[in-house]
Amino acid sequence: MKRKFGLLPLLASILTFFLLVPLDQGLAETSAAGGQAAPTISIDKTSLNNGGLIRVTGQAPAGRPVFLEVWATDKNVRANFFDNKKNKDTGKIPYVFYLTTEMPAYYKIFAPKELQPKLDEARKEGKKWSYAKVLKDLGAEDAYSVPAAIGIDRYQATLMAGIVGSRGEKMAAMEAGENRKRSMQLLKSRFRSLDKVVGAEVSVAPDGAYSAEIKIRDGLAPGVYRIVAVVDKNTKSAPAEFENKIAFPTMYLANAGTSLNLLWPFLLTLAISIFGVLMGAGGGFILNPILVSLFPLPHTVVAGTVMPTVLFSQGSGIYNYSKIKFINWKLGVGIGCAMMLGGFIGPKLTELITLDQFKFAFGWILLVLAGLMFWQTTPGYLEKNKKEQAILKEFKKRAEECAKRGESGTATCPTDQK
């Protein structure tokens, strides 16, 4: 491993060297083809440690805006988007579920600085911003190329399919234009905020020389990133490459698509699970909303990863109760079967909702839970609970004694539950 890490920057610098060298030839070729000269591009460093600043400079044809398209080439992430908005033309709600696993883990278009007002305008729309509209307003449509070509699956969701917990019937592949349009919606659903996918950082001089300070934020995927300077569809620079490196305890969560210092979720889980024991509710109630709020983790991954962590403590709890015959199997299995059906359907619904809907619903769930907790501190409940706890203790004592003596089915000890 050590050797590999030593070699990578070297490889990267060799690569950039090779990329930079043929540029002059490329320039000549495109000019000869009758189009405008392809822009040149160079960057001041070829590797970053968990984010940092990169200075991009180059020469583009005079008097044209320059856009920079930056994306992660090594790591892809999953993105999904559920189209349940009424179609303006047909008046029908499509209920189509779009899913891709090929979204670059990082993607951003940098526009000329002069276009900042247009970004501010788009920001005013709040969460309703549309990537397609922003790109159009910026004139950056030609710069959008990498995600447009990703493979996207789409499924026709139906109520029936939802009930049996399937994604629905897979539909025919989309043609390029449709794929491009949907990829923008997927991009938005994945990266959520406008600032993560578009920025205005490029200064272009009247003679066409451009420069930009690109900030690669921390917590991004490791690996090779590419930058391409784009003037229009046919006038693009060769890609410049740099590598983003991360080191333990920061690690890349492949499914979540982010690099995270693993110490934080560990400490958070520890604190919350202790508190969970104290208040008599599993940690998931507090852990999930905090995880999605503090870290850039998708809510699907948070829900799907927290669930199995509580499985073990539940299992050991059941084992302990069953040892003292404190479980009514008929009752538990009966309700358990109904819950199993619910548990089969629920995870499907997680990916149909957006993060904001997730947070909103979770907010109400927590308020209801707080209500329940409050009710458990009212004097009437406490009085009742005292009696219940006394009975519980008594039963436990008896059960433990029975277990010790190995008795079963006698006057003081219960028969084995079935």
Question: Binding residue for another protein (CB under 8 A) from 233, 367, 401, 408?
Answer: 367
Give the shortest CB-220-to-another protein separation in angstroms.
Answer: 16
Among 213, 328, 397, 401, binds another protein (CB under 8 A): 328
Tokens linked to 390: 């006394």
User: With CB under 8 A as the contact rule, which of the stretches 8-16, 130-138, 233-241, 340-348 interacts with another protein?
Assistant: 340-348
Pick one of 7, 173, 294, 370: the residue that binds another protein (CB under 8 A): 370
**Per-residue exposure over 168-197, b if at least 16 CB sit within 10 Å of its own CB, e if not:** beeeeebeeeebbebbbbbbbbbbbebebb
Q: Binding residue for another protein (CB under 8 A) from 336, 397, 404, 405?
A: 336
- Rule CB under 8 A: say whether 304 interacts with another protein: yes
The residue type of 328 is N
Interface of this chain with another protein, residues 242 to 301, rule: CB under 8 A: 251-256, 260, 262, 265-286, 288-290, 293, 297, 300-301
Which one of the spans 18-26, 132-140, 207-215, 328-336 is the region binding another protein (CB under 8 A)? Answer: 328-336
Least distance between another protein and beta carbon 109 (Å): 27
| Residue of the chain from 233, 330, 397, 405 that contacts another protein (CB under 8 A) | 330
Q: Which of 5, 17, 18, 360 binds another protein (CB under 8 A)?
A: 360
Number of residues that bind another protein (CB under 8 A): 111
Longest dimension (CA), the chain: 101
Identified binder of another protein from the candidate list 14, 344, 397, 408, rule CB under 8 A: 344
The least CB distance from residue 153 to another protein, in Å, is: 12
Binding residues among 88-117 for another protein as defined by CB under 8 A? 101
| Binding residue for another protein, selected from 193, 234, 385, 408, defined by CB under 8 A | 385
> Which of 392, 397, 407, 408 is close enough to bind another protein by CB under 8 A?
392
Q: In this chain, which of 338, 380, 404, 406 binds another protein, going by CB under 8 A?
A: 338
Q: Which is nearer to another protein, 27 or 281 (CB)?
A: 281
Residue 147 interacting with another protein (CB under 8 A): no
Q: Is 349 in the site for another protein (CB under 8 A)?
A: yes
Residue list 43-72, contact with another protein (CB under 8 A):
none
Cα–Cα distance measured from residue 22 to residue 269, given in angstroms and rounded to the nearest whole number: 52
Residue labelled with tokens 């109904």: 338
Q: Which two tokens stand for residue 393?
A: 């203790």
Q: Which long-range contacts (CB under 8 A, 24 or more apart) does 143-146 make?
A: 143/67, 143/68, 143/69, 143/109, 143/230, 144/69, 144/109, 144/180, 144/184, 145/69, 145/230, 146/69, 146/71, 146/104, 146/107
Please select the residue that binds another protein; options are 169, 178, 213, 388, rule is CB under 8 A.
Answer: 388
Round to whole Å and give the CA distance between 239 and 40.
Answer: 9
- In the complex, the smallest distance separating the C-beta of residue 225 from another protein, rounded to whole angstroms, is 21
Cα within 13 Å of Cα(207), Cβ side: 3
Give least dist CB 232 to another protein, A.
Answer: 37
Q: Looking at 11-19, 31-39, 133-141, 307-315, which segment touches another protein (CB under 8 A)?
A: 307-315
Site for another protein in 156-175 (CB under 8 A): 165
Name, in order, each residue with C-beta under 8 angstroms of 98's C-beta and a sequence gap of 6 or more. Answer: 80, 81, 82, 83, 152, 153, 154, 182, 185, 186
Residue of 343, 397, 400, 401 interacting with another protein (CB under 8 A)? 343
**What is the DSSP pairing of strand 198-204 with strand 107-112?**
parallel
Residue 20 binding another protein, by CB under 8 A: no
Minimum distance, C-beta of residue 131 to another protein, in the bound complex (Å): 23
Q: Shortest Cβ distance from residue 246 to another protein (Å)?
A: 12
Using CB under 8 A as the binding rule, whether residue 234 contacts another protein is answered as: no
391 binds another protein (CB under 8 A): yes
- What is the distance between the alpha carbons of residues 418 and 416, in angstroms, rounded to a whole number? 6
